[in-house]
Amino acid sequence: MESVLKVFENAHHGYSIYHLLDDFIKNLKGPFHGDGKCSLPVDFLTAAQAARRDGFRMSAEQIRRISSKAFDWIMQIEPEYWTYAAFKGEHYHQITFDVAETYAKWIEEVRDLPIIQKLEVLHCKMTDLINSRRTESGWWSTKLIPSKEERLKEESQKALQLKVLFSTDTLFEVRDECTNIIDMIKQECSCGGWKITGIPCRHVIAVFNCTGKSGNVYDYCSRYLTVDRYRSTYSESINPVAVTLKTPSKEKAKSPSESEVPSESEAEQVLPPSTSKKPSQQKRKWTSEGFVPRTVTCTKCKGVGHNKISCKETV
């Protein structure tokens, strides 16, 4: 945590819910009451994904009723690092169980290949992935990426049934299943949906409809969810790496113009890294007659051809 704050000043980060859940299950200890041990992982995820603090407290209380030890385990971890309700950074309603899942599958496919072929396959897969996403996004005509555009339409439909009460010019009250407070200056809704998803929730859209600002709804969406940002993510390319190995050939006379620019066949040869001598390799020394094996002398019996470890003489 100290290193993260040192490198990324004022950054907010959260723990991996996947690994946190795994640790939670491993540390579960009885006695268990009520629904029993099997329901605790579900309650844990419900607490992590609760958008409101009261929802988090209800799930945490459910865990406490089943197992006080499980409740103590989750409460020792700062809620701001693993819950939606208390997280201080930007999060968009996505929990990734394994960030490297795609890469791990690729590695499994090429596990038995030599290292050079392995890198070539990974290079091709990454190139195809970037190119396919770049091509796909080129057909999008919406402001937001399709999944978020669809979510915004759904929220807009639900907003038509809501009633808005004006508190001030920037503070509003919207009645749904419960009362929701919208602060337009802080860009917050008490339901937590706006902060979690990065797009205005139904309560905020209802306010826009009443105040005549519905045309500017995209101005209140996170810029990271726009098509332009998506295209920018995949705009760069992975350049091909051409390695041409030189083959022994007779030198030919070259003109000055040819010698200035190396030809393609003269590309630098990439050699494997140098390795240290194997422990079993016999040490040699240089004499006037060339390399000769070094004589091994036992320090125990002073014999030749073995050392004290393999010495069989009794002293």
Give yes or no for residue 256 having a pLDDT over 80: no
* Cβ contact 218:143 at 8 Å: yes
Average pLDDT score, the chain: 80
pLDDT value, residue 196? 83
pLDDT value, residue 270? 64
Give yes or no for residue 53 having a pLDDT over 60: yes
Q: Tell me: the pLDDT tens digits for 156-175?
A: 999 988 888 888 888 899 98
Cα 41 → chain centroid: 23
Q: Tell me: the pLDDT tens digits for 208-227?
A: 988 877 668 898 898 889 99
pTM beyond cutoff 0.85: no
pLDDT value, residue 229? 92
Question: What average pLDDT does range 132-149 have in this prediction?
Answer: 92
Cα 233 → chain centroid: 15
Domain edges within the chain:
2-81, 101-137, 146-233
Highest mean pLDDT among 45-54, 237-246, 257-266: 45-54
CA-to-CA distance for 34 and 62, rounded, in angstroms?
9
Q: Tell me: the pLDDT tens digits for 173-191?
A: 998 878 889 988 888 888 8
HSE toward the beta carbon, residue 184, CA cutoff 13 A: 20
pLDDT value, residue 95? 52
Distances (CA, A) of 179 to 163, 174, 294: 10, 6, 89
DSSP states of 26-62: HT--S---TT-GGGHHHHHHHHHH-SSHHHHHHHHHH
Side chain identity at 53, as an amino acid letter?
R
Q: Tell me: the pLDDT tens digits for 78-99?
A: 888 888 888 877 765 555 555 5
Q: Tell me: the pLDDT tens digits for 13-44?
A: 788 888 888 899 988 887 888 777 888 999 99
